[in-house]
Amino acid sequence: MGAAANAVFHLEPVVEIGYGKAKVDEFASSRRVRGADGRIRTRFSATKDPALRDAPEGTIDPWLRTVTLFGPDRPLARMHYYATHPQTFYGDGSVHGDVVYDAREYLQNEEGVFQVYFTGCGGDVTAGKYNDGTPEAKHRLSTRLYSGLVRAIGDTKRAPAGPIDWKVVDVRLPLHPAFEARAFRTTLEDPAAPPQRRIQAAMSLAWIERLEKRPSIDTSRLRLGPVDLVHLPGEAFVAFQLHAQAARPDRFVCVASYGEGGPGYICTDAAHAEGGYEPTAAYVGPPSEPILKDAIDRLLR
């Protein structure tokens, strides 16, 4: 809040919008791997199982998209969008920015331009195929992401900054069918329950109470010349990002997810029937998919 309030005293004109993209090879992969028995296996962000790492990449969006705000004589800021869980090295109790921080920080120091990174619809996408959790793998992935950032900047095309338009569409996503407030409260108040289950119960109750006070969730779109910046809630599956881009192939569509954390994972409806990890951490259930896709269509219409 303080930074935003202070920013109004340091305004600079934006006269052009830049937009470019580049493929990031050997980084993103689907977290949902279907086994020979038809069951979904989970390829987490760090995966040591060679069989899971050898499985195909699956459905991803390999393109990193970059939008640049140009002033009269220089680039003022660059915004980068890529769909994958932005973590590769975790579980040791430390707090750090992982590969995204390494790539973004190096580029910002090198270029002298403020860099912002947005995680796209990476709810079912990780680096697990290319990451065994070692520092060496983390370094390789950081280098690949940095290369994608640089190449997307090199692909930049420029256009006038206008017209500018902001649009908001409210959605009401159904509560997950397994949610039952009384059961969550019993777990929360049980001192013998494992801490992780009590934390999960508290988060679930908070979401139920949030929907009681305000049932709708914001989705939004900022239009800058030929560029559309779409903002979605939760950890949305990559299918929603691909849907947004297919809805307006005539425009440069970038998608940022994670805007409202309350829904948890926003899965495709089929994923709830298939199983796997994500539906167990979803606070919304079917038919969320057609509801959210309709909101995306309305934002981009």
pLDDT at 280: 92
pLDDT at 95: 87
pLDDT at 1: 72
Q: Which residue's entry shows tokens 């980068």? A: 80
Tokens at 149, concatenated: 């950032």
154 Cβ contact list (under 8 Å, min separation 6): 20, 22
Q: Are 169 and 84 contacting, i.e. CB atoms less than 8 angstroms apart?
A: no
Alpha-carbon distance of 77 to 139, in angstroms, equals 25
Ramachandran angles phi, psi of 181, nearest 5°: -60, -40
pLDDT confidence band for 90 (50 / 70 / 90): confident
CB-count exposure of residue 214 (10 Å: 0-12, 13-18, 19+): exposed
Tokens at 232, concatenated: 């979605």
List pLDDT tens digits, range 34-43.
998 999 999 9
Burial code of 221-257, b = ≥16 C-beta within 10 A, e = fewer?
A: bbbbbebbbbbbbbbbbbbbbbbbbebbeebbbbbbb
Beta strands 114-119; 75-82: pairing state: parallel
Percent of the chain residues topping a pLDDT of 90? 91
Is the pLDDT at 190 greater than 90, yes or no? yes
Domain boundaries, the chain: 13-168+216-300, 173-213
List pLDDT tens digits, range 262-301.
999 999 999 999 999 999 999 999 999 999 999 999 999 9
Q: Are 239 and 61 contacting, i.e. CB atoms less than 8 angstroms apart?
A: no
Alpha-carbon distance of 16 to 53, in angstroms, equals 42
Beta strands 164-171; 217-224: pairing state: antiparallel
Tokens at 35, concatenated: 């086994």
List pLDDT tens digits, range 108-148.
999 999 999 999 999 999 999 999 999 999 999 999 999 99
pLDDT confidence band for 2 (50 / 70 / 90): confident
What is the average pLDDT score of the chain?
Answer: 95
Cα-trace Rg, the chain:
20
